[in-house]
Amino acid sequence: MFLNSFFLSATVTFVQSEVAPERRVISGALLLLVMNFIGLGLGPTYVGMASDFFLPTYGEHALQAAYYALAPMYLIAALLFLWLARLIKRSASETAP
């Protein structure tokens, strides 16, 4: 959970550095909109569905199992960030003089 909050500042900085100055406000707003749709829309839905799925097996601990089932999403996010970092590095080396 400590590392969970470190991605936001880097993501916002990256998005706003990649767009023209007159489009920075809208790009930041769209980034936060999409992140909230995914995080607040899909996150609780996923945990609720996983909890219902685990209920017959884990009983009263189904919600705990559902939160554990959320852990692979952090791995997927980390892999996507690494992939993006490689793309940025490749793009920077191609445009370097």
Whether 9 maps to a domain, the answer reads: no
Whether 80 maps to a domain, the answer reads: yes
Whether 7 maps to a domain, the answer reads: no
Angle ∠(49,55,57) on CA atoms, nearest 5: 125
Whether 12 maps to a domain, the answer reads: no
- Count the domains in the chain: 1
Whether 53 maps to a domain, the answer reads: yes
Whether 4 maps to a domain, the answer reads: no
Whether 84 maps to a domain, the answer reads: yes
For the chain, the residue count is: 97
Whether 76 maps to a domain, the answer reads: yes
Per-residue pLDDT tens digits for 35-78: 888 888 888 999 999 999 999 999 999 999 999 998 888 889 88
Band (97; pLDDT cuts 50, 70, 90): low
Give the domain extent around 89.
24-95
| Beta-carbon contacts of residue 66 (< 8 Å; ≥ 6 apart) | 47, 48, 50, 51, 53, 54
